[in-house]
Amino acid sequence: MVQPFDYFDAARFFPSLAPEDRVRAYACFGGVPAYLRHWLPGRGLRENVEQTLLAPGHFLFREGEELLRTEFHQEALYASILRAVATGEERPSDIARAVGRHSANEILDHLRRLQDLQFLRREVPVTELGQARTQRVLYRLADPYLRFWFRYVSPYQSFLQLGKAAELWAREIQPTLDEFVARTTWEEVCLQHLWRRLAADRLPARFAQLGRWWDGGDEIDLVGLWRGRATLVGECKWTATPVGEEVFVALQQKVGKLPIQEPPLWVLASRAGYHPVLRHRAALGGLLLLEPVDLF
C-alpha cells in the first residue's frame, strides 16, 4: 500500500501556491496520492476546493462517505466514533458518551480497529511513549482529508447539492479555515519538518522521539527526547499577528515539568513572523524560528 506523502511531498502537487497556502492545501487535501492527483494545476486554493471537495459528483466529494460505507457498512458505531472525534471529542470516555455508550471499555475494540485501519491516531504524551499503561490517551483523525471532509463537507452535503460551493466557501470555510489549520494541521506539519531537518543534519539537536506533551494543566506542542530527556522544546502558532516574546517566556515556564537536557533547542513556528526582540534572541543561538517559507 502506498503511504501518504508528508506535507513537503504533498506540496509538490501545488508548487505555485504561496507557502502559507501550501500548508492550507495540505490541511484540505492531505497526502494521499489518489486525492492529490485531482489537484487542478494553475488554479488557486479556493478554486481547487470548490471544484473538487465541494463539487457534488466529484470523487473527493463522495470519498468520505464511500470510505464509511465500504469499511463499516454493517457497523454504524464506527462511523459514529469517527464523527465524534471529528467534532472535537478526543478522550476515550468522551468519545464513548458521544456515541451513546456508558464507558470507554465498550468502544476500545472499535478504537483499536480504527487505529489499525489508519482512520484514527492514538496519542499519548511523548514522555509516555512505549509505556504499557497510561491514562493520558487521546484520539485524533489521522488523515487531513477526512478531517476537512467531516468539518466542511459532511454537514453541508444537502446545501452543496444545490450548487452552493462558492457560498459555503465565503460563509463558512474562508472565515474559519485558519482556525481549522491551527487546530488540526500546523503542529503536525512542523513535526514532520523537524524530522526532515534531523534527517538532513540541519538541526543542532538530536532526538529519538518527537511529539506533544501534556498534563492536567499544561501542553507543549513539540518535545524531542533523547534517552528520556528533552533536547528540543517548541511551540506552534498559526496566528495572523507576529509572535512576541511572551510566547517564548510562557514556553520556558512550562518546561519545569519535563526532564530537560540543558540547554534544549528552543523552537517557535509562526505563520506571521516574529517581533524583533525574538529575532534578536534567535541570532544569539539556541532558538530556531520557523515560518511557512522555511518549510519549503
Q: Work out how many domains the chain is built from and give that number.
A: 2
Q: What is the pLDDT of residues 210-248, one digit of tens each?
A: 999 999 789 999 999 999 999 999 999 999 999 999 999
Task: Looking at the structure, tell me whether residues 63 and 126 fall in a common domain.
Answer: yes
Q: Which positions ≥6 away from 134 have C-beta within 8 Å?
A: 124, 125, 128
Task: Looking at the structure, tell me whether residues 166 and 263 fall in a common domain.
Answer: no
Task: Looking at the structure, tell me whether residues 113 and 223 fall in a common domain.
Answer: no
In the chain, the percentage of residues whose pLDDT exceeds 90 is: 90
Task: Looking at the structure, tell me whether residues 202 and 72 fall in a common domain.
Answer: no
Position 180 in a domain: no
Task: Looking at the structure, tell me whether residues 135 and 26 fall in a common domain.
Answer: yes
Position 284 in a domain: yes
The number of angstroms, rounded, from the C-alpha of 120 to the middle of its chain's C-alpha atoms is: 12
- DSSP SS3 for 266: strand
Task: Looking at the structure, tell me whether residues 266 and 202 fall in a common domain.
Answer: yes
User: Are 209 and 51 in contact, with CB atoms under 8 Å apart?
Assistant: no
* Residue entry with cell 519535563: 258
Q: How far apart are CA 178 and CA 158, in angstroms?
A: 24
The angle formed by the CA atoms of residues 7, 11 and 14, to the nearest 5 degrees, is 155
Residue 132, pLDDT > 70, answer no
Position 177 in a domain: no
Query: How does 40-64 read in b/e, with b if 16+ C-beta sit within 10 Å?
Result: eeebebbebbbebbbbeeeebbbbb
Task: Looking at the structure, tell me whether residues 6 and 88 fall in a common domain.
Answer: yes
The dihedral formed by the CA atoms of 277, 279, 280 and 282, expressed in degrees to the nearest 10: 120
Task: Looking at the structure, tell me whether residues 37 and 163 fall in a common domain.
Answer: yes
Model confidence at 254, pLDDT cuts 50, 70, 90, reads very high
- DSSP SS3 for 162: coil
Q: What pTM did the predictor assign?
A: 0.95
Q: How far apart are CA 7 and CA 32, in angstroms?
A: 11
Q: What is the pLDDT of residues 30-70, one digit of tens each?
A: 999 999 999 999 999 999 999 999 999 999 999 999 998 88
Cell numbers at 211, concatenated: 511529539
Range of the domain at 198: 186-295
CATH code of residue 162: 1.10.10.10
Cell numbers at 295, concatenated: 518549510
H-helix or E-strand spanning residue 214 = strand 209-214
Position 181 in a domain: no
Task: Looking at the structure, tell me whether residues 138 and 196 fall in a common domain.
Answer: no
Give the pLDDT of residue 68: 87
Task: Looking at the structure, tell me whether residues 8 and 94 fall in a common domain.
Answer: yes
Amino acid at 15: P
- DSSP SS3 for 223: strand
Q: Pick the last residue of a domain from 172, 198, 214.
A: 172
DSSP summary character for residue 3: P
Do you find a cis peptide bond into 259, omega within 30 degrees of 0?
no
CATH code of residue 199: 3.40.1350.10
Task: Looking at the structure, tell me whether residues 7 and 114 fall in a common domain.
Answer: yes
